[in-house]
Structures are given as structure tokens and as C-alpha cells.
Amino acid sequence: MIENLGIDITLLEKGRVEATMPVDERTRQPFGILHGGASVALAETVASIGAYELVDQETESVAGLEINANHIRGVKDGTVKAVATVLHQGKSTQVWDIKISDEEGKLICVSRCTMAVLKLTK
């Protein structure tokens, strides 16, 4: 999905991930604005990547458990930027805050994603 939507991870730190995504024919809905589903896919992508960076990758993995999104403003073209920060890092779950903004820094979408921390079986 990352390649299909043109998502580009621009920053990856412990507890913070940033990425961009174009608003184009791949990510617009039929009325010509950014599709809410594309925003949610971007939000869950940055949360998932961030969550994976915080676990022991030899013994654990992560999976999306819940996501919500409030779509604040429409955008017709350009690029949007997602900034994900960890709010809670527990043994079995993580909670991430994701804010998506347009090129002018105006808030487009705010999302919260809960990630399950999974023990890998051998």
C-alpha cells in the first residue's frame, strides 16, 4: 500500500514518524478531494512503522487494533504530511497520535491509532 499511495517516510525516530503522501489520482475520492480512506491508510502506516521501531523485533511484532480519524478540511492537490507521535507505550499495546496537514501546515485530519504488540511464536 505504501508504494500504491506514494507514501514516503521522511523521518523515523523512536516515538516519532513523519511521512508525505501526494494528493493525486491515486488518493482522491470521486469528488476531487483527498479520500478519507487514504488519510486513514497514511495514519495507520506511520503508526505501524513507529510501533514496530519500539518493540523487540526478534520476539515481537505489531498490528493495528483500532483507528479513528476526524477529517477536518479537504485538500484537492499537492502533498500532505503525517506526523505520528507515541502517546502510550505499554507491554501489549501502544497508542499513537497522528496529525495530517497540507503544504501550508493547515490541519487536514487528526487520528489516533492503537497498536497491538504481538509475541512471535517459534
92 DSSP 8-state letter: S
CA distance 120 to 117: 10
| 3-state SS record for 8-51 | EEEEEECCEEEEEEEECCCCECCCCCECHHHHHHHHHHHHHHHH
Based on the residue annotation, tell me whether 44 is a catalytic residue of this protein.
yes
| Candidates 25, 44, 58, 66; catalytic one | 44
For the annotated catalytic residues, the residue numbers are 44
